[in-house]
A = this chain, B = another copy of it.
């Protein structure tokens, strides 16, 4: 499918290509946000020799290279996503769904008092609530 694309992505970030890594990237691309456990189980179904340690090692390497981001969400295990433009997340309290959303955070950043002397590098916003499916 998009093997070629994944290989290029890895190359761009100076990460050596292996079947395990391609499988991880493919899952992140497919699911958007995925946990270590889910990565492990889904790949293992097709590729039973995969070890959990390898998943962790690769996740950590990819985070160091800023190739992926870690998402810490209340009430959920950590999720990982391919790094892309800054964005925020909609999170359903009921079903756990996570959806990307692009919003402008410059307004709220302005409400930090100048006197605080705090310089924002990154603003992280999570909208926690109920998704359409769960509401109906």
Contact = CB atoms under 8 A, between A and B. Distances in A.
Interface of A: 70, 72-74, 88, 90, 92-93, 99, 101, 103-105, 107-109, 111-112, 116-132, 135
A131 B120 CA distance: 9
Copies of this chain, count: 2
A105 B92 CA distance: 18
Contacts of A108: 88, 103-105, 107-108, 125
Given A74-B72, A104-B111, A111-B103, A128 B118 contact: no
B129 A116 contact: no
B123 A128 contact: yes
Contact of A119 (B88, B103, B112, B129): B129
A31 to B, nearest CB: 19
A130 to B, nearest CB: 5
B135 A119 contact: yes
A18 to B, nearest CB: 27
